[in-house]
Amino acid sequence: MDSDGTHDARGTHADRVPRPAGPPRVPPRPARAPGAPPLPDGSAFLTWLRTPRPEAAPGVWRFGHRPRPEEEPEQIPARQLLSGAFIAFLVGWLIWSLLWNGYLGGWWLLPLFAMIPDSWVKPHSFGSVVVVYAYYVAIALGIMIGVGRLGRWSEVWRRYGVPAWRQAAPANERPPAPEEDPAQWNPLRAAGAVDAAERLGADARAGLMRDVDHARITRAWQSVRSGRHSLATFTGTVLREGAAACLHPSGDRDLPGRLAQHDLVTGQVRLGTTADDPRNPYAYRGTGMALGPDLLGTSLLAVGPAGSGKTGGVVWPLAESLCLHALAGRAAVVVVGAAGAGLGSVDAYDVVVRVGNPESVYDLDLYGGTTDPDEAAAVLAEALVGDLADPHPSGESRRSTTVLAQLLGPYRTVHGRFPSVPELRQLLDGAPGPLGALRKALTDGGQESLLRELDARERQLGQPGDLGGVLADRVALLDRPAFAGFFDTSGQSRPFSLRALDHPVRVRIDLPQRGHADASRILSRLVLAQFAASVAVREDRSLFACLVLDDATGVVTPEAVRGIQRLRSANAGVVLTLRTLDDAPRPLRSPLLGAIGCRVALAGLTPWDGQDFAEVWGKEWIEARDVTDRQIIAETPAGKAVHMLRRVITGNAPTARAVTVRQVERERWSASELAHGVPPGHAVLSLTSVRGDHAPPLLVDLRDPGRP
């Protein structure tokens, strides 16, 4: 409104401005429905898949690995390098200044005068000017090259110039060629399954594929190549389901959550970072440390006190990796530990056996699913009295097996099943009622050979040295009210048998620790014995089988050590943890460390445990340097004056240093270093692959697993 109270119509009302005639403008159609999540992007998966994974030494995290030289290059200190380069520059500048100003004479111009023709000598001749300044530049370049080599300018350029910037911030690598691109599924194309390869490539680009899918389909393709499945079935499944083809029986395509960093292309899980320590080989320093089935196939033993990181830093990452391998159809895993030990979510497993918990859906088969009484007796004898056997081969273990076989065979023949825990306890105690009923049934059935077995058992009852009483006492530990609903043999429960390791199954067994420590140790020995017996008779050994025992206290027996030695040929392995090697019998410690290929010594070991590790890791030849400082005695008055001046300035007498280099043999890691030199959160581990490749003992930081 103007001062006179009238309205200014030049822009006060926008609706008065004329608009061009035409149809109303319609907003563009949205790419997706309002409120719908954005379409997935497969760039992250493709980047992960195309990341180089070069061949490396055992235990090196291969994902994006950049190999380092075997020997550490001579590294000049930065201060010495920069000061030397600057002094060399000053020397070159001084030489050029002396030449240019004529303080050194004109001899350096004689080649120039010899090359210039007489016709170019006239002053201000263009040709003479060009030649003269070219000569000056050549002389300056010669001086620069000389002082540059003297001052190591090339090293300064590599360390602080553009090459260092490029190494610190590498540029994005070019996409691989189509014939080398793993996202193109070239093996399928070469076999004629072009449509399946196109479908998988499209799902990968659309973000519908993840690392477990890639590993699972790759495993299925290997089955096609080996002839176990037909190409037509595989192609049809992929065309119909895409990235969700060949699913695990559980229908899961991933775990509920991940804590560690995994690479399913190489099968590795990253445990930590190798410390930048002089005791580690230079090629390993600063690299990621990872394990996979190729290393776990030689089994692993981790020793460290409570709180040192055995479960959180070693056991759970390995269990998580094996569960991912099971989802990909590559492995079968059994994880045994106390309830609440931090072994992951229940949803990460297919079968969860909670021994002693009435809410447990699954039961544990006491006899391992076998129907052979002798095999069942051998496994059960190892579980019950394996820790009481002499470490050296003797007849004790055979006698306990014989005692059990004398009862299991007749009982199964009569009843068609093995006895339950209370029934087995009564038979071992020699109760007249059960033995009489068993004898009558065998007599009525005409089982003369089994009657002889039963007669032999009855003759041994009460005799000195009879193992029936010892076996009955151990069975009594399982015949408790807390286990009343477990170990059922009547077929009314859902017992889990380790015979199921022919399939990619994920199993977790929670042991009762509170008030039932002895029973838990018996069950741990039982699972280990059943595992060793089951993997040895598998038909498909391409499936890696692994048993993870979070606490192997009381599990190390002579038969267990012999069973671990046989696992490598069966494509299987075990992961054991101990708080101290004192939890294993002294005669079995060296055989145990020798039978296991991957050994982990965590921070906090005792010197006695460190001594066992130091012995198994052996010694190595190293280069020892002895430095001797010898005082210099001046003979002349001038020398004495110089020495006195040097002593006044530095505060030290002039000395001459003598260095002696010699080869000595030293322990790789001494017992004292393992007990007192391993920082908290670190571990020293040595690795051996199933092919026989070795990695020396390495100091690894388990607190830096490189998690995203």
What does the domain layout of the chain look like in residue ranges? Answer: 78-151, 176-244, 373-483, 625-663
pLDDT score, position 615? 93
| pLDDT, position 238 | 93
Mean pLDDT, range 135-163, rounded to an integer? 85
* % of the chain at pLDDT higher than 70: 89
Place of tokens 């699954």: 362
- pLDDT at residue number 477: 92
pLDDT band at 168 (very low <50, low <70, confident <90, very high): low
Pairwise CA distance, residues 319 & 335, whole Å: 7
The pLDDT > 90 percentage for the chain reads: 48
- The DSSP bridge pattern shows strands 572-578 and 300-303 to be parallel
Give the residue with greater pLDDT, 380 vs 171. 380
Question: How far does CA 643 lie from the centroid of its chain?
Answer: 59
Please state the separation of Cα 9 from the chain's center in Å: 79
- pLDDT (0 to 100) of residue 461: 84
523 vs 478: CA distance, rounded Å: 9
- pLDDT digit string (tens) for 379-415? 999 999 988 866 655 556 788 899 999 999 999 999 9
* Average pLDDT score over residue span 637-645: 78
DSSP state of 666: E
> Which tops the pLDDT comparison, 292 or 619?
292
> Can you state the angle between helices 231-241 and 211-226, rounded to 10 degrees?
160
CA atoms of 368 and 382, how far apart (whole Å): 13
Between 657 and 264, name the one with better pLDDT. Answer: 264
**Cα 80 from Cα 102, distance rounded (Å):** 33
Neighbours of 226 (CB within 10 A): 10
Low-confidence winner among 76-85, 283-292, 476-485 (lowest mean pLDDT):
76-85
Indicate if the pLDDT at residue 657 is higher than 80. Answer: no
CA distances from residue 702 to 273, 274, 330, 613, 655 in whole angstroms, order as listed: 7, 9, 26, 19, 45
264 or 307: which carries more pLDDT confidence?
264
**pLDDT value, residue 288:** 93
Overall average pLDDT of the 278-305 stretch: 94
More confident of the two residues 509 and 129: 509
Q: How far is CA 522 from CA 210, 217, 381, 514, 515, in A?
A: 41, 40, 10, 14, 14
Distance CA 633, CA 653 (A): 10
Check pLDDT > 70 for residue 591.
Answer: yes
pLDDT of 166: 67
Q: Is the pLDDT of residue 172 over 60?
A: no
Name the residue type at position 183. A
Residue 167 has a pLDDT of 60
Query: Residue 174 — very low, low, confident or very high, per pLDDT cuts 50/70/90?
Result: low
- In this model, does residue 5 exceed pLDDT 60? no
One-character DSSP codes across 617-660: H-EEEEEEEEEEEEEPPP-SHHHHHHHHHHHHHHSS--EEEEEE
Tokens of 58: 């055992």
Q: For position 528, what pLDDT does the model report?
A: 95
Number of Cβ within 10 Å of residue 40's Cβ equals 12
d(CA 570, CA 298): 11
Strands 261-263 and 268-274: antiparallel
Q: Can you tell me the mean pLDDT for 18-42?
A: 49
Quote the tokens at residue 473. 């006492």
pLDDT 10s digits, 420-451: 999 999 999 888 888 889 989 988 888 888 88
pLDDT tens string 240-254: 999 999 999 999 999
Helix, strand, coil percentages, rounded to 5, for the chain: 45, 15, 40
* pLDDT (mean) for 536-560: 91
Its pTM surpasses 0.85: no
Dist CA 565 CA 549 (whole Å): 17
- Predicted confidence (pLDDT) per residue in 674-694, tens digit: 999 999 999 999 999 999 999
d(CA 617, CA 669): 8
Give the model's pLDDT for residue 307: 87
| Reported confidence tier of residue 36, pLDDT bands at 50, 70, 90 | very low
| pLDDT band of 121, cuts 50, 70, 90 | low
Q: Looking at the predicted structure, is the pLDDT value of residue 594 above 50? A: yes
Range 604-627 average pLDDT? 88
pLDDT, averaged across the chain: 85
* Residue 617 pLDDT exceeds 70: yes
Of 169-173, 312-316, 443-447, 696-700, give the lowest mean pLDDT range: 169-173
Q: Which of the pair, 12 or 342, is modelled with greater confidence?
A: 342
- Report the SS3 class of residue 511: strand
pLDDT for 240 = 93
Cβ proximity of 627 and 663 under 8 Å: no
d(CA 595, CA 616): 11
Which amino acid is located at 626 in the chain?
D
Cβ neighbors of 654 (< 8 A, separation 6 or more) are 631, 632, 634, 643, 646, 647
* Angle made by CA atoms 595, 598, 602, in degrees to the nearest 5: 120
Residue type, 357: N
Instruction: Give the range among 43-47, 351-355, 391-395, 690-694 with minimum mean pLDDT.
Output: 391-395
Confidence (pLDDT) at 6: 39
C-alpha to C-alpha distance for 621 and 667, rounded to whole angstroms: 9
Q: How far is CA 306 from the centre of its chain?
A: 21
Q: Strand, coil or helix: what is 450?
A: helix
Record the tokens describing residue 24, joined without a space: 């109303």
Distance of CA 590 to the CA centre of its chain: 24
CB neighbour list of residue 33: distance below 8 Å, 6 or more residues apart: none
Return the pLDDT at 20: 43
Residue 234 CA to residue 232 CA, distance in Å, equals 5
Closest by CA to 505, choosing from 534, 533, 473, 529, is: 534
